[in-house]
Amino acid sequence: MIEFLKQPWPWYIAGPLIGLTVPALLILGNKSFGISSSLRHICASCFPANIPFFKYDWKKEVWNLFFVFGIFLGGVVAISFLSNPNPIEVNPKLASELAGYGITHYDHLVPTDVMSWASLFTLRGFMLMVVGGFLVGFGTRYAGGCTSGHAIMGLSNLQWPSLIATISFMIGGFIMANLILPYILSL
């Protein structure tokens, strides 16, 4: 059984399992699926101030913090007990494209040539980790939620703003992956 869990799961199993969280949350407590709002809940609980954005009853949303902690705990369990000790397998075409940018070393699921403490202090690493992280956070707040909230929960509820947000996320992802990222990796 453990060996089965250690293998990558195909999309047709993992996708429906993720999708089933939407009706489960709605049926069990009329809750919405989304992760980005948890940062707001943490800030509202830890830093009580006179900031209007954080003045609400965050205790009604404490379930979301447990949900996010469960995701974190699941990741710890997966990496500690279920990780595959073999080197990550990268498609040969992708490996040769990344090698053209100087990315040749992979540790678990990230290229260590780009995502490591040492590369954080390079222009390329700073652009990807710090500037990219800021832009993701800003975009999440600007869009009123993250990709999981809009694409999974919003679309299943037929929300027009979520459709627009999801299309925008996809267009932004294609532009980043095909136009901007190659430029940053060539720095």
Q: Are residues 106 and 155 in the same domain?
A: yes
Higher pLDDT, 115 or 96: 96
Q: Are residues 107 and 175 in the same domain?
A: yes
Q: Are residues 105 and 131 in the same domain?
A: yes
pLDDT for 164 equals 93
Q: Are residues 7 and 73 in the same domain?
A: yes
8 Å CB contact between 32 and 64: no
Q: Are residues 162 and 113 in the same domain?
A: yes
Helix (H) or strand (E) holding 85: none
Q: Are residues 104 and 178 in the same domain?
A: yes
| pLDDT, mean over the chain | 83
CA–CA distance, 175 with 98 (Å, rounded to integer)? 17
Average pLDDT over residues 111-130: 82
| Domain interval for residue 182 | 89-187
Q: Are residues 30 and 102 in the same domain?
A: no
pLDDT for 21 equals 84
pLDDT for 171 equals 94
Domain end point (choices 52, 83, 114) = 83
Burial classification of residue 49, based on how many CB atoms lie within 10 Å of its CB (0-12 exposed, 13-18 middle, 19 or more buried): exposed
Percent share of the chain, pLDDT over 90: 9
Average pLDDT over residues 31-52: 80
- Report in angstroms the alpha-carbon separations of 70 from 32, 65, 67, 174: 16, 8, 5, 30
Asked if the model's pLDDT at residue 88 lies above 80, the reply is: no
CA–CA distance, 144 with 34 (Å, rounded to integer)? 11
Q: Are residues 53 and 94 in the same domain?
A: no
For CA atoms 125, 130, 133, 135, give the dihedral sign.
Answer: negative
Number of domains in the chain: 2
pLDDT for 174 equals 93
Residues whose CB falls within 8 Å of the CB of residue 151, separated by 6 or more in sequence, listed in order? 162, 165, 166, 169
Domain end point (choices 32, 55, 83) = 83
The tens digit of pLDDT for each residue in 157-184 reads 889 999 998 999 899 999 988 898 888 8
Q: Are residues 76 and 96 in the same domain?
A: no
Out of 4-18, 42-56, 160-174, the most confident range is 160-174
Q: Are residues 69 and 108 in the same domain?
A: no
pLDDT for 118 equals 85
User: Which residues sit opposite 110 in a β-bridge?
Assistant: 107
Average pLDDT over residues 101-123: 76
Q: Are residues 71 and 40 in the same domain?
A: yes
Burial classification of residue 157, based on how many CB atoms lie within 10 Å of its CB (0-12 exposed, 13-18 middle, 19 or more buried): exposed
Q: Are residues 97 and 77 in the same domain?
A: no
CA–CA distance, 154 with 147 (Å, rounded to integer)? 9
pLDDT for 107 equals 64
pLDDT for 108 equals 59
pLDDT for 73 equals 95
Residue with tokens 């190659």: 182
